[in-house]
Amino acid sequence: MASVLLVLGLPLASFLAIALVRPLRRRGRAAGWVGITAMIVALAEALRTWLGSTRGTVILPWLPGDGGPMATVGLLLDDLSAPMLVLVTLVSLLVQMYSLAYLHDEPMPSLGRYYAYQSLFAFSMLGLVLSPTYLQMFVFWELVGLCSYLLIGYWYTRPAAARAALKAFWTTKLGDLGFIAGIVMLWSATGTFEFDALFRMAREQTLPLEGLATIMFLIYLGAAGKSAQFPLHVWLPDAMEGPTPVSALIHAATMVTAGVFLVARSEPLFVLVPGVLALIARVGAFTALLAATMACVESDIKRVLAYSTISQLGFMMAAAGAGAPDAGFFHLLTHGVFKALLFLGAGAVIHAVGTNDIFRMGGLWRVMPQTGVIFIVGTLALAGVWPLAGFFSKEAILAGVWAGGRSGVFVVLALTAFLTAFYMFRVVFITFFGHGHPHGEAHPHEPPWLMRGPLWLLAVLTVAIGLRFAIGGGGEHHPPGWLAALSLALAAGGFGLAWAMYGARWIPVEAVRRPLAVIDFLARRRYFLDAIYGAIYRGVMLGFARLIGWIDRYLVDGLLNVASAGTLRAGDALRRIQSGQAQDYVYGVAFGVLFLFVLAQWWRTP
């Protein structure tokens, strides 16, 4: 477990060094190299841990309580967290290297801040996957949320970035409310936060089943917020306001998959409540389809990828809900690699062209062939083409859903797989093969080696993972033979349609759009969800706040103002009684005494 501690401790140490040592923070490039060095060692240790056979749990008491500690902390290393260690350290390392070139125009102190956040994020994400208790997981869960907020709002002087950061924070916080409520209810029902103890109770059927459905639904809410499931998915497209490497790391490969990881981790508890599992599967499939339709009409290259991420997260959730969480987890890992590849490739394109709009690109294949190859590798993997990584994980998910007997979910996911191939190749054809669009003054060129290196490494990994499964077989999964054919047919269909519409231009875009006018109209407006949330916010929340404000301003303050003004007026009026002449006072005394005498007489004689 010592090497695990090293994996966890190095990013923390690099964060503390960059954050606390001012000269280092002011020199962003040096801070970057500190972070990268820490991540190289951490990656080496993570690989060693993953390949090694050491698995186990270390638990230390944390909060004292009657009869044993109330809460514990520790490290949990198993077959779920070990591959996550490698994924997180690998993508973190590559993104940190890539950022050094991508953000070369940033002022140095600002870059130092960036690397402090990056190191903190790596530490938090590693802590999250290594958590052996729900409580510790929640702490790291919030930490990655904080890092996400800080990095989306990295260019905080841009109002759009600041708004997007807030939106991401609050939307995920809505789910986190459910998460914390769920784990506290779980604790009050069982008296423990520890996964091991909870799963043992689940195995031995001593877990109180009453109220468990509510608890697991609340925990799923947290996962839905983080993993951008409908209806909490609205924050992820906006999160693209952050720097592109951040999107690759946090909003594609690692943090957004934390929700899937949570569901996979809690699987022994979720299987006890089939109703919640069915909900997870259906919401996942619906999210996948919804996001895919939005990706088909989007013209911002990063937003296409963001919708694609939501869609793929829907795939993973659907698998987890359909009783195949290992397939979902497998897709999580492969998706982490090739989606990071796609985002970094998109970053290279944006870097070269200076715009996010795919319709202002075009013909980039001639000037950036390397980036083109890399991007197409990622696209093929995402579309699920044999023998790349995405093919096997997507097939595993479809097989798992089919085996779980959810045919409705299966059909939706199959349709989504078709759309996935379509919208990705749409981007490829418009960006790299479309012709004749002017680029303005920008002169597109291949990115520097610091960006190309991570890209090539991820591309090679995407191919290598795929080949490993193509040669070595699918492990314990034996999907039915027709499934592979179906997957390929769907991918080929999507590719063909995209080629016919945007490559060869056989089919005019209008001809496809017109029959689907309703969906097109809705998808272009994000199904009005943002508008609805905005209306709820402005109408209900702001209205309520205004009402409270009016009550405070006019009723509470008004009452106090009347009291104080009345006192002032009365004082002003009574002031005039004080004439300052002693004789007037004697008048008062004399007539007062007289009055008292009369009164006393009057009382005595009834």
Partner 1 sequence: MPGLFAYLVVAALVFAIGLFGVLTRRNAVGILLGIELMLNAVNINLVAFARWHGDVVGLLFAMFTIAITVAEVAVGLAIVIVIFRVRRTIDADRLDLLRG
Binding site for partner 1 (CB under 8 A): 575-583, 586-587, 590
Nearer to partner 1 among residue 210 and residue 572 (C-beta): 572
Cβ of residue 563: shortest distance to partner 1, in angstroms? 22
Nearer to partner 1 among residue 188 and residue 579 (C-beta): 579
Torsion angle of the four alpha carbons 213, 218, 220, 224, in this order, in degrees rounded to the nearest 10: 150
Cβ of residue 583: shortest distance to partner 1, in angstroms? 6
DSSP secondary-structure letter at 555?
I
Do you find a cis peptide bond into 237, omega within 30 degrees of 0?
no
Q: Output the six-digit token pair for 581.
A: 């002449």
Nearer to partner 1 among residue 53 and residue 583 (C-beta): 583
Q: Output the six-digit token pair for 402.
A: 């089919």
> Residue 384: how many CB atoms within 10 A of its CB?
26
**3-state DSSP of 92-129:** HHHHHHHHHHHCCCCCHHHHHHHHHHHHHHHHHHHHHH
What pairs with residue 76 in β-bridges? Answer: 57
Question: Are 164 and 241 within 8 A, CB to CB?
Answer: yes
Q: Output the six-digit token pair for 237.
A: 């497209």
Nearer to partner 1 among residue 510 and residue 572 (C-beta): 572
Nearer to partner 1 among residue 206 and residue 578 (C-beta): 578
Q: Which amino acid is it at 223?
A: A
Question: Are 456 and 420 within 8 A, CB to CB?
Answer: no
DSSP secondary-structure letter at 504?
S
Q: Which amino acid is it at 422?
A: F
Query: Is 75 strand, coil or helix?
Result: strand
DSSP E strand boundaries for 337-487: none
Which residues, 6+ apart, have CB-to-CB distance to 140 below 8 Å?
124, 125, 127, 128, 131
Nearer to partner 1 among residue 464 and residue 596 (C-beta): 596
Cβ of residue 589: shortest distance to partner 1, in angstroms? 10
Residue 313: exposed, middle, or buried by beta-carbon count in 10 A (0-12, 13-18, 19+)?
buried
Query: Is 443 strand, coil or helix?
Result: coil
Residue 567: exposed, middle, or buried by beta-carbon count in 10 A (0-12, 13-18, 19+)?
exposed
Q: Which amino acid is it at 526?
A: R
Nearer to partner 1 among residue 475 and residue 592 (C-beta): 592
Nearer to partner 1 among residue 518 and residue 582 (C-beta): 582
Q: How far apart are alpha carbons 396 and 383 in whole angstroms?
A: 14
DSSP secondary-structure letter at 133?
B
Cβ of residue 591: shortest distance to partner 1, in angstroms? 10
Nearer to partner 1 among residue 504 and residue 600 (C-beta): 600
DSSP secondary-structure letter at 411?
H
Cβ of residue 575: shortest distance to partner 1, in angstroms? 4
Nearer to partner 1 among residue 206 and residue 581 (C-beta): 581
Cβ of residue 576: shortest distance to partner 1, in angstroms? 7
Cβ of residue 566: shortest distance to partner 1, in angstroms? 19
For residue 77, which of 6, 141, 176, 146 has the smallest C-alpha distance?
6
Nearer to partner 1 among residue 157 and residue 581 (C-beta): 581
Cβ of residue 593: shortest distance to partner 1, in angstroms? 10
CA atoms within 13 A on the CB side of 401: 30
What pairs with residue 58 in β-bridges? Answer: 75
Residue 90: exposed, middle, or buried by beta-carbon count in 10 A (0-12, 13-18, 19+)?
buried
Place of tokens 């929700």: 259
Nearer to partner 1 among residue 435 and residue 576 (C-beta): 576
Q: How far apart are alpha carbons 234 and 246 in whole angstroms?
A: 18
Nearer to partner 1 among residue 550 and residue 587 (C-beta): 587
Cβ of residue 581: shortest distance to partner 1, in angstroms? 5
For residue 234, which of 297, 154, 174 has the smallest C-alpha distance?
174
For residue 224, which of 265, 174, 278, 182 has the smallest C-alpha distance?
174
Query: Is 154 strand, coil or helix?
Result: coil
Q: How far apart are alpha carbons 534 and 541 in whole angstroms?
A: 10
Cβ of residue 597: shortest distance to partner 1, in angstroms? 12
Nearer to partner 1 among residue 51 and residue 589 (C-beta): 589
Nearer to partner 1 among residue 576 and residue 604 (C-beta): 576
Q: Residue 343 phi/psi, 5° resolution?
A: -65, -45
